[in-house]
Chain A
Amino acid sequence: MTELAVPASRREVPFRPLVVWGAAILGTVAIGGVLLVISDANPIQAYRDIVAGSVGSIDSLEQTITTAIPVAMIALGLCVAFRANVWNIGGDGQFLIGALCATAVALTFGLDSALLLLPLALLAGAAGGAVYGGLVGGLRARWNVSEVITSLLLNYLAFYLVTYVVRQPLRGEGSYLPETDQLPAAATLPTLGSTSIHAGIFVLLGLVPVAAYLLGRTPLGFRVRMLGLNPEATKAVGVPTERLIVLTMLFSGGVSGLAGAVQVSGAAQFLSNALSNNFGFTAIVVALLGRLNPIGTVVAGLFIAALTVGGEELQRSQNVPQPIVTVISASFVLLVLVARRLSARPA
Chain B
Amino acid sequence: MNWDEVFGASAIAPLFAASIRLAIPLAVAAAGECVAERSGILNLGLEGMMISGALAAFIAASSTGRGTVGALAGIGAGIAVAGLVGLLVIHLKIDQVIVGVTTVILCLGFTAYVYAEAYGVGTLPELPSPTPVDIPVLSDLPGVGSVLFQQHPLVYVGAAVPFVLWGVLRRTRFGLDVRAVGERPDAADANGTNVDRTRWKALAIGGACGGLAGAILVVGAVGTYRDDITAGRGWIAIAIVIVGRWNPLGALAGSFLFGITDALQLRIQAAGGGFDTSVPFEFFSALPYAVTIVVVVLTTVRRRRGAQPAALGVPYFQTR
Binding site for B on A (CB under 8 A): 1-4, 35, 38-39, 87, 89, 139, 143-146, 148-150, 152-157, 160-161, 163-164, 167-168, 281, 284-285, 288, 319, 321-327, 329-331, 333-334, 337-338, 341-342
Flag if A330 contacts B105 (CB, 8 Å).
yes
Q: What is the distance, in angstroms, from B38's C-beta to the closest C-beta of chain A?
A: 16
Q: Is B301 an interface residue when CB atoms closer than 8 A count as contact?
A: yes
Minimum CB–CB distance from B85 to chain A (whole Å) comes to 10
List the A side residues contacting B242 at CB < 8 Å: 146, 149
* CB-CB nearest in chain B for A2: B186
Can you show 28 pairs from A to B with CB atoms below 8 A apart? Answer: A3-B314, A38-B117, A89-B101, A143-B300, A144-B304, A145-B301, A148-B44, A148-B97, A148-B235, A149-B235, A152-B235, A153-B293, A154-B293, A156-B286, A160-B282, A160-B283, A167-B282, A168-B280, A281-B108, A284-B102, A288-B98, A324-B113, A330-B102, A333-B98, A334-B103, A337-B88, A337-B102, A341-B93
Contacts of B105 in A (CB 8 A): 281, 284-285, 326, 329-330
A298–B88 CA distance with the chains assembled, in angstroms: 27
Partner of B106, one of A155, A321, A322, A330: A330
Q: A329-B109, A331-B106 are in contact. List 19 more A-B contacts (CB 8 A).
A: A1-B314, A2-B186, A4-B315, A38-B117, A149-B239, A152-B232, A153-B239, A160-B285, A161-B286, A164-B280, A167-B280, A281-B105, A321-B113, A324-B109, A326-B106, A326-B112, A334-B103, A337-B98, A338-B94
For the residues of A in contact with B, the DSSP-based class is: helix
A326 to B110, CA, bound (A): 8
B interface secondary structure, majority:
helix
A-chain residues with CB within 8 Å of residue B112 when the two chains form the complex? 321, 323, 326
Say if the beta carbon of B222 comes within 8 Å of chain A. no
Select which of A2, A163, A324 is within 8 A of B185 by beta carbon. A2
- CB of B296 within 8 A of CB of A145, answer yes
Q: Is B50 in contact with chain A by the CB < 8 A criterion? A: no
Q: Are A150 and B286 interface neighbours, CB within 8 A?
A: no
A-B pairs, top 6 by smallest CB distance, nearest first, are A326-B109, A321-B116, A330-B106, A323-B112, A160-B286, A164-B282
Question: Who on chain B is nearest to A342 by CB?
Answer: B92
Contact of A164 among B94, B117, B283, B310 (CB under 8 A): B283
* Chain B residues closer than 8 Å to A322, beta-carbon distance: 116
CA distance A329 to B94 in the complex (A): 18
Out of A161, A284, A338, name the residue touching B92 (CB < 8 Å): A338
Chain B 278-316 interface mask (CB, 8 Å, partner A; 1/0):
001011011001101100110011001100001100111
CA of A342 to CA of B92, assembled, Å:
8
A contact residues around B99 at 8 Å (CB): 334, 337
Give Cα A321–Cα B121 distance, bound, in whole angstroms.
11
A327 near B110 with CB under 8 A, answer yes
The reply to whether B88 and A334 form a contact with Cβ atoms under 8 Å apart is yes
Measured CB to CB, the nearest residue on chain B to A39 is B117
Contacting pair A153 B282 (CB below 8 A): no
With known contacts A144-B304, A168-B280, A321-B117, A150–B297 Cβ distance under 8 A: yes
Measured CB to CB, the nearest residue on chain A to B44 is A148
Q: Who on chain A is nearest to B292 by CB? A: A153
User: Quick one: which of A1, A38, A150, A164 contacts B293, CB cutoff 8 A?
Assistant: A150
